[in-house]
Structure 1
Amino acid sequence: MEGMDVEALIQELQNFGKARPAPSPLNVEDDHGSPRSMSSSMSAVSEAPSVVSLGSSTEMTESDMSLSASVSSISPSEILSLTRTLTLIYTTTLLSLLTSQQLALLGRARYLSSVLAAAREERLAESIEEQLSITGLLFGNAGEQMEELIDLPEGPTEDTEARFLTMSWWLLHVGWKDVGERVRMSVEDVFEGVSLKTRLTLPDLHRLVLDVRRRIDLNTDFLHALLPSTPELTAHVLAQGGFSFPCYYHQKTESLAPLLDELQGIVQSADFGLVLDRALDTAVAILFADLERSVFPSSNVEEEPRVRLAGLLPALQHWSQDALKGLPCVLVDDILSTREVGALEAIAFARFEDDVRGR
């Protein structure tokens, strides 16, 4: 150590450090074989996490959108609210028409019975007067005339009328289920693609309901929903109404069967289908008048007010619960006051040719 020139060695080392060039960056090849620096590689690596983060962010956004869509789409409970409202409209309308036709047929039968009773009394008085005359005593056949007057058939009894009106039990306990199923399927077809967040005007909702009605009315035959289709089912209805089973077959040869046959013919007629359509128009108009008052706010703006479908469902449920509670019932009264309903009653009341011919 003593023989070494320490100062000269230090000076040489310092000069060597200053003269050494800066290290060049390490070059690597990319996927295509072209060189790139380590710094650029490190830069790419440093950017990689952001790409991964972006991908995960995109996946999360798509998941959120899917969840949001599933939440906003209409659920079975909302389908049930719409189904309940329209089923109420259909069953109430059908029951109103059925009852009006039953009463029209019974009213006609009573009217004819009173007319025939008056004619019977008049003819009986004439027969007695003729019998007591000299000509009648010598040549008359008063006995045969008296038998003809006695044999004139009478109208339906009160028991028969009660049995006939009991037929509405079928719609109230059995037939409404068939109507409700037809309504449910049509509601699902129309509203399945409608989001709860969809903002609807009153005409928009009316068009949707009209579309549901068109699907329901593709089959306008409601006979099996209104009346029992077999004698066994008819006997079951009478039993549920408090009448014994054999009584129906005893009454079958009298006046109950002709009344049922005529009522079935009316229900299957084209006139009944037309009247049903007009009566449903009236019932739906009552619903929308209530919605316009309670849900759609009135404003002076030219643009029509819009309400989300989710906001309409509670109002529909409320209307379904209160529609039949009031006395008098506005829904039933307005249906029965429809001009076409009265016209169908008049047609049924005036069609008594067969009754007169049979008597």
Structure 2
Amino acid sequence: MISATRRWLKRNRTPLAIGFGVLGAGYVATQYVLGKISDARERMSSDRIARENLRRRFEQNQEDCTFTVLALLPTATDNIIHELETERITYELQQQKAAKLARNGEINPSELGSGPPSVTDEDGRSMASLQSESGVHASQMGIPSASIVGDGPQDGGQQAQKARKSKLQLWNDLKISSITRAFTLIYTLALLTLLTRIQLNLLGRRSYLSSVVSLATGGMEQSTISLENHDDDNPDQAYGNDFETNRRYLTFSWWLLHRGWREVMLKVEAAVKEVFGGLSPRDDISMQKFSELTLEVRKKVEGATEAERQASTWLQYLLPPKEEEEFVLKESGMTKESSPSGSVSISASDSTPLRRLLDETSDLIDSPPFSHVLTLLLDAGYSTLVDQKISQQAYKVPPTSDVSDLNSPRITEVVDVKPVKLPIVLAVLTRQAHSIGNGVPNEYLQSMEQVRDLEAFAAVVYSSNWENEIRPVNEELKDGPIDAADVATGQESIVDIGSASAFESAWGKAVEKDTPG
């Protein structure tokens, strides 16, 4: 039996060897394939988790932008309302009207300080409307009772003519002030929204890249990149490891809140005077006419054509010139008391990160996509003001369920409705100025955030230019800290916003992907 088996094995040893070889190779190949499949599954699962975490972090970043805008906006609103005191002008008009009625014996002079007079003519109704609809009563402003104009014997036609001129001037001031204030607040809100998106998304990108670098250099014990937001637990890790730089960078919104809004206001005021200057408070104005005049103001401020809007520069309103950067840091309390030299020079004491952030922010603001998105945000804001609030409150147009196209470059045309007196429109604008700046919830901010291109712009900022941003970090890790003397010589921006730039390419792809059809 044994010998027979040996003879069989001897005769078939070659086929058996081939068979075992095939089986062994098949087993090895099977294990290799299974290993590759397992690795691919793990990579796919890891990528899916990373993408989901990144998406959640991005969405959280956009929510942070909303809360930041709501926190910063009241500062600019207070400055604008304090500068354009529409309610004070309204009060002076009421006092003049009350003094006139007192001279005519229609009311008791002792009642002048107690409240607005009860009148029946058009001017009286207009002023009463302005006070009641503006939401701010004269008695709430702490304005002392003004002296009664013309208290005593009348001096004839000369004094009456002087009073009439003063009244017309007050009405003109009221007209320009109420329109300018509402429009300036819309521009300020749109600019602050975009600036905040740029700032927080640039810092959010740095946070992600910091995790990547820490993982690559063994700085993190965990084997995966943490994209969760634990900034509240450890503020030193907020938006990357350089918390002080990030804090100083965010401080530059001070310029828009305290300086930039004034330049915007002056530009808007000049346009309002040119467009609305010829209107009289006794004029009737239709909804269509007011929309057309509003559009004319926008053309003068933003540009009448697409080329003019692209050529417009908004950088001067959002960021200070380089020679004013140290002033901004000092005014906002960012001076380093513990600094050996006591200097706050960005180019010397702050090394390169803050300079790179400011340069990239400047390039993004000067880019064509910024102007494009800003136009859409302004379309949304003006649509809320004109097509909703003014049409419903001044012209009594019933609200419709139709969703307005926020991507239209012009204000939506309105149907013909009965014209109203200009002071009625001014009353709505006076009240809406407070809603734009301090509304809870802020309908104007909500309408701007519904613009799809705003999120696309934020996503491009968040995801673009990673190579250039991570290169300086790698150089620091490899070569050690950068000497401040090397930075003091100056550095060109790491972003080239041009026709063939990576940002433009990424923005074009984002817009094409988001376009239906």
TM (normalized to structure 2)?
A: 0.47
2:417 aligned with 1:326, yes or no?
A: no
Which residue of 325, 330, 337 maps to 1:234?
325
Give the match for residue 297 of structure 1. Answer: 396
Between 1 and 2, higher relative CO (CA 8 Å, sep ≥ 6) is seen in 1
Conservation of the 8 A alpha-carbon contact between 1:93 and 1:276: yes
Shift of 1:81: 0.9
Q: Is the 8 A contact 1:74 1:194 kept in 2?
A: no
Relative to structure 1, the CA distance from residue 303 to residue 106 in structure 2 (aligned partners, 3 Å threshold; closer, same or farther) is closer
8 Å contact from structure 2 (residues 285, 422) kept in 1: yes
2:263 maps to which residue?
178
The 5 Å alignment of 1:118-197 reads: 118-121=215-218, 155=240, 157-197=242-282
Counterpart Cα distance in 2 of 1:279 and 1:340: 9
Residue in 2 aligned with 1:26?
Answer: none
- Out of 354, 375, 379, the residue aligned to residue 281 of structure 1 is 379
Kept in 2, the 8 Å contact 1:155–1:255? The answer is no
Q: How many residues align?
A: 264
Q: Matched residues, percent identical?
A: 31
**C-alpha deviation, 1:71, in angstroms:** 4.6
Give the one of 332, 338, 355 matched to 1:257: 355
Q: What is the DSSP-based 3-state SS (H/G/I as helix, E as strand, rest coil) of the residue aligned with 2:352?
A: coil
Query: Partner letter of residue 282 of structure 2?
Result: K
- Three-state SS of the structure 2 residue aligned to 1:327 is coil
How far apart are residue 304 of structure 1 and its match?
Answer: 1.6
| Residues 210, 298 of structure 1: alpha-carbon distance in 2 compared, 3 angstrom cutoff | closer
Q: 2:321 is paired with a residue of what secondary structure?
A: coil
**Which structure has the bigger radius of gyration?**
1
Pairing partner for 2:460 from 323, 343, 347: 347
Query: 1:75 aligns to what SS in structure 2?
Result: helix
Q: What one-letter code is carried by the residue in structure 1 that aligns with 2:185?
A: L
- Secondary structure of the residue aligned to 2:437 is coil
Change (3 A) 1:125 1:327: closer
C-alpha displacement at 1:266, in angstroms?
0.6
| Alpha-carbon contact 1:109-1:155 (below 8 Å) kept | yes
Name whichever of 91-100 and 211-220 sits farther off: 211-220
Shift in alpha-carbon separation, 1:293–1:160, aligned structure 2, 3 A = same
Tell me if the contact between 2:286 and 2:417 (Cα under 8 Å) persists in the aligned partners.
yes
Task: Letter of the 1:336 partner, please give it.
Answer: E
What's the CA shift string for 1:75-99, capped at 9, x where partnerless? 1221111111111111111111101
Shift of 1:353: 2.3
The 2-side partners of 1:255 and 1:171 are apart by 22
**Closer/same/farther in 2, CA of residues 102 and 303 from structure 1, 3 Å limit:** closer
| Aligned pair partner of 1:315 in 400, 415, 428 | 428
Match of 2:340 in 1: none
Counterpart contact for 1:164–1:259, Cα < 8 Å = yes
| Structure 1 residues 350 and 303: CA distance shift in structure 2, 3 A | closer
96-105 vs 156-165, greater mean Cα deviation: 156-165
Q: Which amino acid aligns with 2:469?
A: D
How far has the Cα of 1:269 moved from its partner? Answer: 0.8
Comparing 200-209 and 325-334, the one that deviates more: 325-334
Q: Distance in 1 between matches of 2:221 and 2:427?
A: 67
Post-superposition Cα deviations, 1:25-61, rounded to whole Å, max 9, x if no partner, equal: xxxxxxxxxxxxxxxxxxxxxxxxxxxxxxxxxxx9x
CA RMSD of aligned residues (A): 2.9
The whole-number CA distance in structure 1 between the counterparts of 2:431 and 2:282 is 20
- Return the alpha-carbon distance in structure 1 between the equivalents of residues 373 and 417 of structure 2: 32
Which stretch of the first structure deviates more once superposed, 284-293 or 159-168?
284-293
SS in 2 for 1:254: helix
More helix by proportion, 1 or 2?
Answer: 1
Matched, 1:356 2:483: no
* Alignment partners' CA distance in 2, 1:241 and 1:303: 50
Q: TM-score, normalised by structure 1?
A: 0.67
- Tell me the CA shift for residue 337 of structure 1: 3.1
Distance in 1 (CA, whole Å) between partners of 2:419 and 2:360 is: 48
Change (3 A) 1:272 1:173: same
What is the identity, as a one-letter code, of the residue corresponding to 1:223? L
The structure-2 alpha-carbon separation of the partners of 1:101 and 1:294, relative to structure 1 and needing over 3 Å to count, comes to same
**Aligned partner letter, 2:277:** E
Q: Is the 8 A contact 1:202 1:296 kept in 2?
A: yes
What residue identity is the alignment partner of 2:470? V
1:80 aligns with 2:165: no
Q: Identify the match of residue 301 of structure 2 among 210, 216, 240.
A: 216
C-alpha contact 2:435 2:442 (8 A) present in aligned 1: no
CA contact (8 A) 1:78 1:313 kept: yes
Q: 1:175 to 1:156 in 2, by over 3 A?
A: farther
Structure 2 vs 1, CA of residues 244 and 73 (structure 1 numbering), >3 Å: closer, same or farther?
A: closer
Deviations 1:213-251 (A, max 9, x none): 000113721111110112x41111111221116244355
Q: Deviations over 1:165-204 (max 9, x none)?
A: 1001001111111100000000011011223233222222
Q: Any gaps of 5 or more consecutive residues in structure 2?
A: 1-156, 224-238, 304-310, 337-342, 399-414, 475-517
**C-alpha spacing 1:254/1:309, structure 2 compared with 1 (3 Å):** same
Partner of 2:200: 103
- The separation in 1 between residues aligned to 2:367 and 2:321, in whole angstroms, is 16
The answer to whether residue 301 in structure 2 is matched with residue 204 in structure 1 is no
Query: Which residue in 1 is equivalent to 2:46?
Result: none
